[in-house]
Amino acid sequence: MSFISLILPAVYDKVYSLNMKLNYSGPKFYTGGVNIKEWSKLTRQQQKDALAKDWYVYFSYRDPKTKTLVRQTAIKAGVNRFKTKRERLTFMKVVKRSLIKYLELGFVPKEDNNQILSKISGSKGVSEKLTKVEFKEEKTTQKTVKKTKTLLSPPTTPPSTPHTPPPPTPLTAPPTPTSPILEEKYMTIKEAFDFALKIKKRTLSPNSYSGYLNPTRQFQKWLEENKIYDIRAIQKKTVVKYLNTVLERTSARTRNNARTTLSAIFSTLEDNEIIEDNFILKINILPTKPERNKTLTPTQESQLETFMSENDPLLLSFIQFVSYCFLRPVEVCRLRIKDIDVADKKLYVKAKNKKVKIKIIPEILIDLLPDLSDFNPDHFLFTPYGMGGKWNIPERDKRNYFSRRFKKVKDHFKLGKEYGLYSYRHTYITKLYREMRKELTPNETKSKLLGITGHTTIEALEKYLRDIDAELPADYSGFLQPSITNNTQND
């Protein structure tokens, strides 16, 4: 008779009852009163406090009289002698696997398991794996829970039936701190990064995901070049060394961005218990010099517009959406034909701070638009070949394409890297603000401008206006002139 045929009756008798409900609950972990999946989000003090408490495995078993699940004794088995989260979890997982194995074979807490032995006495291989398991009742007081032991031992008295096999060999008890712990298989760096990126891909937009993919692959390539293949071999100094190479060939800002990306990847690995700790959070962020596009002077703006109208009218149309609708370049790249409602003068655009925002299309831009009624509504408004068409590449690449296209124009006028597509957004917001200020107070101007620029708060708008120097003081020469005159007379 097969092993399955022998073991199933015992399992069904002991495990299934009460309308096929399990006689026991799955073993769970108590980890110091914190959610172990959010370990990386805890402060150092919170982690320390959790490790200071007793950790244990617990489960419930169905009372044969009341038919309700009753909490059984907590199983500690020496787990609290370990000092780190990883050691304790590794140990508790072994205890859990052993406990589940016993329960699946039909063992009942606080009962003699000879009945199971007699049912499967025809299989020596099975009987050798069976033993008696007793769980002492948990004795509690108002302050403490007394330590209890899980006794794993053979029956104290052999069965009186002559046909009963000799006492079985005890099953190996769960490991103690002095016994070796089964090592779990660790992932390679490629497997770990692929796992983290797979999660990111399911939770982020394609544009955001691409921001994780490239830096992670670059780090992976660097690790392979340095003969590092095991995820356990990556230490804080390893990442610091890599970030230094990024700093040498790029800038502090790029280095900080790489740190942020890798930290997010390692947090995902920590949350899934692939690594013990995201040590990248401890790596310093370097100070950076703020870089922003300058606003254009009236002369520069006029020269650029004339040049583009003659040499690159498509780029000029792209820039007009940035200028008149105050869109970011990547937002213009997202526009499809169906997002342009000329009749209602509305523009539907996917912004970075919310799913879709509605903006008005000013009359000055409507007059410049071609007839879009015959275009495919699902086509993108701007492509490299003209207005209306398919262009299925990442948004980041679309934005970079038009940035490179504008670079050819600004290079013609010898404009530096401080000028870009964003310069038009800054320039036209500055223009609008200063024109409004001629008739309105600063607060009234900002309140009205808030609904036009797309900023979510007045504070964000005020910071932006300061950054682009939209508000300039009036000429203050009159305050200085008297002092100059007085000094001349005194001389």
**φ, ψ for residue 49, nearest 5 deg:** -65, -40
What span, in angstroms and rounded, lies between the C-alpha atoms of 269 and 438?
56
Q: Can you give the pLDDT at residue 152?
A: 39
Token pair recorded at residue 292 = 């922003």
What span, in angstroms and rounded, lies between the C-alpha atoms of 229 and 252?
27
Q: Can you give the pLDDT at residue 300?
A: 95
Q: Can you give the pLDDT at residue 168?
A: 44
Nearest of 199, 223, 201 to residue 210 by alpha carbon: 201
In order of 82, 133, 136, the CA distances from 57 in angstroms are: 15, 16, 14
In degrees to the nearest 10, what's the CA dihedral of 17, 22, 24, 27? 170
Q: Where in the chain is the domain with CATH 1.10.443.10?
A: 298-467
Strand 132-135 versus strand 69-71 pairing type: unpaired
Nearest of 192, 371, 397 to residue 276 by alpha carbon: 192
Q: Can you give the pLDDT at residue 286?
A: 93
Q: Where in the chain is the domain with CATH 1.10.150?
A: 189-282
User: Which own/partner contact pairs does 179-187 have at CB distance under 8 Å and 24+ positions apart?
Assistant: 181/87, 181/90, 181/91, 181/94, 182/90, 182/94, 184/90, 184/93, 186/230, 186/231, 186/232, 187/231, 187/274
Class of the 298-467 domain? mainly alpha
Task: Select the CATH number that applies to the domain covering 189-282 from these four: 3.40.50, 3.30.160, 1.10.150, 1.20.1050.
Answer: 1.10.150
What span, in angstroms and rounded, lies between the C-alpha atoms of 434 and 424?
15
Nearest of 94, 120, 93, 92 to residue 105 by alpha carbon: 120
What span, in angstroms and rounded, lies between the C-alpha atoms of 30 and 57?
6
Question: What does the pLDDT profile of the chain (491 residues) look like in tens digits?
Answer: 444 444 445 545 544 444 456 777 778 888 888 888 888 878 888 888 889 888 898 888 887 777 787 888 888 888 888 888 888 888 888 888 888 877 777 777 777 666 655 554 544 444 444 444 444 434 433 333 333 334 334 444 444 444 444 444 444 444 444 444 444 456 899 999 999 999 999 988 887 888 899 999 999 999 999 999 888 889 999 999 999 999 999 989 999 999 999 999 999 998 888 888 899 999 999 998 777 789 999 999 999 999 999 999 999 999 999 999 999 999 999 999 999 999 999 999 987 656 788 899 999 999 999 999 899 999 999 999 999 999 998 888 999 999 999 999 999 999 998 999 999 999 999 999 999 999 999 999 999 998 888 888 999 999 989 888 888 888 888 888 765 555 555 55
**φ, ψ for residue 151, nearest 5 deg:** -95, 125
User: In the 3-class helix/strand/coil scheme, how is the chain assigned residue by residue?
Assistant: CCHHHHHHHHHHHHHEECCCEECECCCEEEECCCCHHHHHHCCHHHHHHHHHCCEEEECEEECCCCCCEEECCCECCCHHHCCCHHHHHHHHHHHHHHHHHHHHCCCCCCCCCHHHHHHCCCCHHHHCCCCEEEECCCCECCCCECCCCEEEECCCCCCCCCCCCCCCCCCCCCCCCCCCCCCCCCCEHHHHHHHHHHHHHHHCCHHHHHHHHHHHHHHHHHHHHCCCCEHHHCCHHHHHHHHHHHHHHCCHHHHHHHHHHHHHHHHHHHHCCCCCCCHHHHCCCCCCCCCCCCCCCHHHHHHHHHHHHHHCHHHHHHHHHHHHCCCCHHHHHHCEHHHEECCCCEEEECCCCCCCEEEECCHHHHCCCCCCCCCCCCCEEEECCEEEECCCCCHHHHHHHHHHHHHHHHHHCCCCCCCCCHHHHHHHHHHHHHHHHCCCCHHHHHHHHHHHHCCCCHHHHHHHHHHCCCCCCCCCHHHHHHHHHHHHHHC
What span, in angstroms and rounded, lies between the C-alpha atoms of 12 and 26?
17
- Model pTM? 0.55
Q: Can you give the pLDDT at residue 135?
A: 41
What span, in angstroms and rounded, lies between the C-alpha atoms of 54 and 68?
27
Strand 60-62 versus strand 69-71 pairing type: antiparallel
Nearest of 146, 233, 150 to residue 186 by alpha carbon: 233
Nearest of 30, 26, 36, 105 to residue 74 by alpha carbon: 30
